[in-house]
C-alpha cells in the first residue's frame, strides 16, 4: 500500500481506503473521505489515487485559470450559481502529465463525452500544446492542436485573447 502520492507513478486504484466496494463509490462517499494528504478521484465508481502534480503542472494550471477567469469576467460569461454548480461543466481543461497521459486521453475522455461536457482541452506540457476537442453527438472531434502564438478556437470561451504560449510562461 502506498503511503504518499510521491510513491505513485501512475493512477492507482485506492483499494486500501475503507469505504464501499470498488465500483460502488459515489460523490457522497468521496466527500466523506478524511483529508489524508492524498489526491483521489472516482471513475466508474472506482476510487483511485493520482500522483501529486509537479510545480510546473501547477504553474500551467494557474496560468490557464488566470486567463480564463479574466476573460470570463470581462465578457460576462460566468454562469456559476451562488453556492454550487449543478450538472456537468461546459468545459474541462486537463493538464496531462507523462504518468497519467493515457488515462486522461482514454478513460477521462470517454467519461467526459458520456457526461455531455461540450468542450475538452487536453494541455500537453511536454509539447507545449493544447488540443481542443468539441462534443458532436456522443463523440469528441478535434479542432486541432495549437501552439505558440495561436489562440484557441473555443466554442465555450469564444474570443479568448491569449496565445497558447502564455499557458507555459
The DSSP line for 15-83 is TTS-SSPTT---HHHHHTS---S-EEEEETTEEEEEPPPPHHHHHHHHHHHHHHHHHHHHHT-----SS
Q: What is the pLDDT of residue 51?
A: 76
Domain count, the chain: 2
CA dist., res. 54 & res. 9, Å (int): 12
CA dist., res. 101 & res. 95, Å (int): 9
* pTM for the model: 0.76
Q: Are residues 82 and 162 in the same domain?
A: yes
Q: What is the pLDDT of residue 111?
A: 86
CATH of residue 134: 3.90.1570.10
Q: What is the pLDDT of residue 164?
A: 97
CA dist., res. 90 & res. 40, Å (int): 22
Q: Are residues 77 and 150 in the same domain?
A: yes
Q: Which domain holds residue 20?
A: 5-50
Q: Are residues 21 and 71 in the same domain?
A: no
| Low pLDDT (below 50) residues in the chain | 1-9
Amino acid at each position: 500500500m502506498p503511503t504518499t502520492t510521491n510513491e505513485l507513478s501512475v493512477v492507482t486504484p485506492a483499494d486500501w481506503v475503507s469505504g464501499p466496494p470498488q465500483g460502488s463509490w459515489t460523490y457522497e462517499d468521496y466527500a466523506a473521505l478524511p483529508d489524508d494528504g492524498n489526491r483521489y478521484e472516482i471513475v466508474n465508481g472506482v476510487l483511485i489515487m493520482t500522483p501529486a502534480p509537479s510545480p510546473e503542472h501547477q504553474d500551467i494550471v494557474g496560468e490557464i485559470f488566470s486567463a480564463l477567469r479574466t476573460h470570463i469576467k470581462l465578457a460576462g460569461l460566468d454562469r456559476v450559481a451562488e453556492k454550487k454548480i449543478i450538472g456537468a461543466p461546459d468545459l474541462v481543461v486537463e493538464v496531462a502529465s507523462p504518468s497519467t497521459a493515457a488515462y486522461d486521453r482514454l478513460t477521462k475522455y470517454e467519461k467526459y463525452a458520456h457526461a455531455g461536457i461540450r468542450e475538452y482541452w487536453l494541455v500537453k506540457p511536454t509539447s507545449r500544446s493544447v488540443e481542443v476537442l468539441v462534443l458532436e453527438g456522443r463523440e469528441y472531434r478535434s479542432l486541432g492542436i495549437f501552439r505558440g502564438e495561436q489562440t484557441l478556437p473555443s466554442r465555450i470561451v469564444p474570443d479568448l485573447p491569449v496565445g497558447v504560449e502564455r499557458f507555459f510562461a
